[in-house]
Structure 1
């Protein structure tokens, strides 16, 4: 079994950290291949970067020659999962939904600890769209940027664990979800402080991808995630890799 794990930003060191956590979680015999988008932001913090990242992730996956059995989108609260599901015939797992689904198996309520406060509404919106917000006790910001997680892991553990403890005591959370792909590998240290189960989305998504593949299941193509209809797309690289859409040059700007 081969699972593609796609970082949503272009920071190679973060791709490496996500890949390491994915391989740690994977079962024997599961091959993890980590991908970094060819273009896009160094970190994703806000809707503008999230939409740009969604295009970059779809482009990077379509450029992969294959074969592979599943795709994990390793961005917490980011857009793009639905597009990948239309484009691919294999299971597509987003770490946001994967972590929340597993959290609800372990406790009545869960809290998400993320990066900057501006990410909170975006994560809440994604959980709402997925029907997962009802049992979310809170989404808390650690105050750290995505790149600070990568550059200062000791501070990251301290700030994330502090918010996790507050979520348990103040918000009555029974499970903690790490709300950023860049937090991969921090769950044990946060669990030691918070005293409740802590879920990393990358690990959760890999295990769910293995389960769906092992059961022979993939995305329904009957309505919502049917393949995109053939049509002209002006000056757009996406799909050129597979001849998905005819390409036309852009007119004068």
Structure 2
């Protein structure tokens, strides 16, 4: 089984970190290929970045010329583009946002998301609402760290996560979700300290993608995703 994992930004180092986390979660016989958009934001932090990222990821998948794949994992927490990718490709598409939330709902009545900047909270809340899992979310809490700050000082990142996690717990969270693909791996460091289950969206999405492929399931074409782009349609390229 082959899974393509798409980064939502152009930072190759982050793609490599995400792929390491995805491969650690993948089962025997599953290969993981990382895909970095050729253009778009260096880090997706806010509404404008998110919409640009969605277009860049769609373009990267549309023009993908590598080996065939069995599933796509979208490794952008709360980023746009999920629905467009499901219309574009003919294999299961699993977004780390809804994957993490669905698994969290199996572990407790209410979960909390710990993310990067507070400005990302709105789009994460909207993504959870669209996925049908917002009612179980106790809080979305920011750490105050930017996406590219996460790897600079692991001790600072862990301390900021723990402080934000306490606020989510106070709001009623019984399970925590890592609210950024750049946090992949942090669950091992903080889970025991918190005494709560911590769900990594990259790992959750990989395992769900494997399950869908094994079950022979993919996106329904009966409704909203039933009109893929016409064959031979020519897309313009972004300026620059």
* TM-score normalised per structure 1: 0.90
Consecutive unaligned residues of structure 2, counting only runs of 5 or more, are none
| CA-to-aligned-CA distance 1:179-218 (integer Å, 9 cap, x gap) | 0011001001121221100001000000000000000000
| More displaced stretch, 17-26 vs 124-133 | 124-133
Q: Does the 8 Å contact 1:164/1:190 carry over to 2? A: no
Consecutive unaligned residues of structure 1, counting only runs of 5 or more, are 231-242
Flag the 1:49–1:244 CA change in 2: closer, same or farther, 3 A: farther
| CA-to-aligned-CA distance 1:82-116 (integer Å, 9 cap, x gap) | 00000111000000000000000000110000000
Question: Structure 2 CA distance, aligned partners of 1:184 and 1:244?
Answer: 38
| CA-to-aligned-CA distance 1:43-65 (integer Å, 9 cap, x gap) | 00111110100011111112222
Secondary structure in structure 2 of the residue aligned to 1:44: coil
Flag the 1:172–1:59 CA change in 2: closer, same or farther, 3 A: same
Structure with higher Rg: it is 1
Q: Does the 8 Å contact 1:14/1:150 carry over to 2? A: no
Question: Structure 2 CA distance, aligned partners of 1:248 and 1:74?
Answer: 25
The answer for the alignment partner of 1:178 in structure 2 is 178
The answer for the alignment partner of 1:197 in structure 2 is 197
The answer for the alignment partner of 1:17 in structure 2 is 17
Q: Does the 8 Å contact 1:9/1:40 carry over to 2? A: yes
Q: What number of residue pairs does the alignment pair up?
A: 237
Q: Which ranges of 4 or more aligned residues in structure 1 deviate by more than 6 Å?
A: none
Question: Structure 2 CA distance, aligned partners of 1:153 and 1:19?
Answer: 19
Q: Note if 1:114 corresponds to 2:119.
A: no
Flag the 1:166–1:59 CA change in 2: closer, same or farther, 3 A: same
The answer for the alignment partner of 1:220 in structure 2 is 220
| CA-to-aligned-CA distance 1:208-247 (integer Å, 9 cap, x gap) | 00000000000001120123343xxxxxxxxxxxx64135
* TM-score normalised per structure 2: 0.95
| CA-to-aligned-CA distance 1:11-57 (integer Å, 9 cap, x gap) | 11111110000000000100000111100111001111101000111
The answer for the alignment partner of 2:57 in structure 1 is 57
